[in-house]
Amino acid sequence: MLSFKTYIKDTLQAEVQKGTVDTLRLRRAFLTTRLLFKKFEWASEYFTADLSRRLNGPPVEEVENADLLDPSLARGVEPIGLQVIEELIYPTYDNSNRQKLIREIEHLITNTDYLISYFEDHQLEDWRILDASKLEVFRIISLGITGFDNALSRNSMIESSMALGSLQQILLQYEGRKETLPLMLKGAIKYLQQHAEFESFDRAQFITQFANNISTEIAQLERNLPGPKIRYNRMLRQDVNTMFDLNAFNVDAFSPGPKFHFSNEKAVLGEKLFYDVALSGTHTRSCASCHHPDLAFTDGLNLQVDIHGSGRLLKRNTPTLLNAALQSNYFYDMRSLTLEDQIHDVIGNKQEMDGSVTDIVQYVSSDKIYRSLFNKAFNTVDGPISAEQVSNALASYIRGLTKINSRFDDYMRGDKNALSKSEVNGFNLFMGKGKCATCHFLPLFNGVTPPKFIQSEVEVLGVPKSMKDSVLDSDLGYYDIIGVDSYKYAFKIPSVRNVKKTAPYMHNGIYRTLDEVMEFYNNGGGAGLGIKLSNQTLSDENLHLSEKEMKDIIAFMESLESQ
């Protein structure tokens, strides 16, 4: 970290402070600065996540206090760090940005001082070092090799090799499988360095041949350590070998608390409630009316109709419930933090269900079959049924719909025959040239950022109102919840798992086919349609994907169907 700070001051800062900036020298200094950051990324991301975000966070305005009950407390915070600097010097450097660049470099130095101070004052336990090392491998394969944090310079493979090189030095000190792990790391580093071209890099081979084996060895080292370890409530289970392990993800990670955790008995009760039209105020609509199992729990409609038969359409497309537990926010506008909250919202919505949880409690309390199921689910003996139990039972049924068992998952678990050549190529394009994985993150392919999987991301795409013209859809999305201007027209990033069955697509259901979706992204989103939107976060550049490449990406996405 000291070398990072020293290099920034002596080289990067010195280069910018010259009267005339040499762009090539500036870029070389910047790329070296990023490489030095990657040497301690494993530690800064694990132990000082907030500081790490200030050093290398996304170049978009952050929202503070967005998860509080009072949306008025939310405020936008300007981004700082290496990714902001990258946008100032790529694709071309404009000297009019020199003062801003100087300020950004000063921020880097200040935050590095805070980082150094933290590690000077804290003793790092061995199990945390190994846990952080394993998460760094996961970070590399889910973010590092996708160009997530170097979208313009795209020095992804060299940076990832630097991060692995740092782990190589750290892990040498631990007893155990010294004869295998160093060789694995050496091979992975060599592969990254010898195949550094961004678009042609074979991510599927790197993950299956190198990364999965490395993380498995680190996990074994951690298990061999003596002494107690803290067990974190993480969505990606702490004891996994790889991100693709069976049952790698904890469906209860975002539940309100331990008493809300999944059980088979709750799920059985929840399933009965799910198909019961009595949950709606009109007794004509159940949850299953809009979430059909044969359509991956969607409805196949652009927009569902109002429950009262007025012909009025609901505001947004019906999302899948498969793997819905594996996200930190619900609804396209992120307004609910738990499945239980989401269920209360839907039941009480005048256009969706127009129901009352109080009425539902009275209904199930008077039914012998329901009472028996509630007793089994909540270990009670004819005690009063609560609204909390109703919503938790439904949420438990949805948590039970977690199915990370596609052919792609089989491939990542070692079955090389699970995917076709076209699908593997589509995966590599999805992770690289297509830039899909910089929003739909491996391995869930939703917007919850790996490897800690704490925060759901939103994106401003510039989705049009209709296929007929290039007029922006008027739905303000996340902005209506938090009121921060840069998030106008922002929507939660959904999963592309089971996408073969979840048409139509986008928050308003505008696109009927995946070909139409790919065309939209390939042309730069709304900007490519001529929509003027100053805060579009999706790159407005054409991806230059060929017809075959787009077909391969679609083939890959269709391989993500749950089995």
Q: What is the DSSP letter of 448?
A: B
Question: Is the domain of 103 the same as that of 134?
Answer: no
- Answer whether residue 13 shows pLDDT above 70: yes
Report the domain count for the chain: 4
Rounded (to 5) percent helix, strand, coil in the chain: 50, 5, 45
Specify the pLDDT at position 311. Answer: 87
Q: How far is CA 254 from the centre of its chain?
A: 14
Cα separation values, 56 from 63, 107, 275, 325, 455, Å: 16, 11, 47, 29, 16
Q: If DSSP codes are grouped into helix, strand and coil, which group holds residue 487?
A: helix
Q: Are residues 14 and 99 in the same domain?
A: yes
> Which of 508, 458, 451, 450 shows the shortest CA–CA distance to 478?
458
pLDDT tens digit string along 380-438?
988 899 999 999 999 999 999 999 999 999 999 999 999 999 999 999 999 999 999 99
How does DSSP classify residue 1?
A: -
pLDDT number for residue 496: 98
pLDDT of residue 176: 62
pLDDT band at 453 (very low <50, low <70, confident <90, very high): very high
Q: What is the pLDDT of residues 171-210, one digit of tens each?
A: 988 866 557 899 999 999 999 999 999 999 999 999 999 9
Ranking 387-391, 464-468, 474-478 by mean pLDDT, the lowest is: 464-468
What pLDDT score does 175 carry? 64
* The domain boundary residue, chosen from 399, 431, 455: 399
Which of 372, 399, 426 is the last residue before a domain boundary? Answer: 399
Quote the pLDDT of residue 320: 99
For residue 317, give the DSSP letter: P
Q: Is residue 418 part of a domain?
A: yes
Q: Are residues 204 and 162 in the same domain?
A: yes
Q: What is the pLDDT of residues 516-552, one digit of tens each?
A: 999 999 999 999 999 999 999 999 999 999 999 999 9
CATH code assigned at 349: 1.10.760.10
Give residue for tokens 């071309």. Answer: 92
pLDDT at 249: 99
- Looking at the fold, whether 113 and 80 belong to one and the same domain comes out as yes
User: For residue 303, what pLDDT is reported?
Assistant: 98
- Which pLDDT belongs to residue 68? 60
Percentage of the residues of the chain whose pLDDT score is greater than 70: 98
Closest CA to 524 of 437, 456, 460, 446: 460
Mean pLDDT, all residues of the chain: 96
In this prediction, residue 7 has a pLDDT band, given cuts at 50, 70 and 90, of very high
Same domain? For 355 and 497 the reply is no
Q: Which of 258-262, 310-314, 442-446, 535-539 has the least mean pLDDT?
A: 310-314
pLDDT of residue 292: 98
pLDDT tens-digit profile of 14-59?
999 987 889 999 999 999 999 999 999 999 999 999 999 999 999 9
**Domain ranges, residue 107:** 1-124
d(C-alpha 364, C-alpha 347), whole Å: 15
Burial class (CB in 10 A: 0-12, 13-18, 19+), 32: middle
- Residue identified by tokens 């996405």 is 557
pLDDT, residue 421, reads 99
**pLDDT higher at 513 or 469:** 513
Supply the DSSP string of 257-275, one letter for each residue: SGGG---HHHHHHHHHHHT
CA 494/CA 299 separation, integer angstroms? 16
249 forms beta bridges with 236
Q: What is the pTM of this model?
A: 0.96
Q: What is the token pair recorded at 505?
A: 């697509």
CA distance 431 to 190: 20
Residue 188 located in a structural domain: yes
Same domain, residue pair 212 and 222: yes
Residue 227 pLDDT greater than 90, yes or no: no
Do 317 and 423 belong together in one domain? no
Asked if residue 532 and residue 411 are part of one domain, the reply reads: yes
pLDDT reading at 65 higher than 90: no
Give 367's DSSP letter: -
Is there a single domain that holds both residue 418 and residue 535?
yes
Q: Where are the alpha helices (DSSP H) in 349-442?
A: 357-365, 368-378, 387-399, 407-412, 421-431
Q: Which structure tokens are listed for 383?
A: 């005690």
- Compute the average pLDDT of residues 480-498: 96
CA distance 269 to 264: 9
Asked if residue 427 belongs to a domain, the reply is yes
Q: Would residue 250 count as lying in a domain?
A: no
Q: Give Cα 350 to chain centroid, integer Å.
A: 31
Give dist(CA 86, CA 108) in Å, integer.
13
Question: Pairing between strand 75-77 and 62-64?
Answer: antiparallel
User: What is the C-alpha to C-alpha distance for residues 357 and 324, in angstroms, rounded to an integer?
Assistant: 22
Residue 306, domain member (yes or no) = yes
Q: Which of 79, 85, 83 is nearest to 100 (CA)?
A: 85
Indicate whether 480 and 439 sit together in one domain: yes
Same domain, 541 and 436: yes
449 and 326 in contact (C-beta within 8 Å)? no
Specify if 148 maps to a domain.
Answer: yes
Angle at 226 between CA 223 and CA 228, to 5 degrees: 90
Is the distance from CB of 75 to CB of 66 less than 8 angstroms?
Answer: no
In a domain, 190, yes or no: yes
Within 10 angstroms of residue 179's Cβ, the number of other Cβ atoms is: 7
214-222 average pLDDT score: 96
Does residue 456 sit in the same domain as residue 517? yes
Question: pLDDT value at position 330?
Answer: 97
Residue 534 lies in a domain: yes
Point out the domain boundary residue: 124, 156, 181. 124
Task: Please name the residues in contact with 313: beta carbons below 8 A apart, sequence gap of 6 or more.
Answer: 302, 303, 304, 305, 306
Radius of gyration of the chain (CA): 25
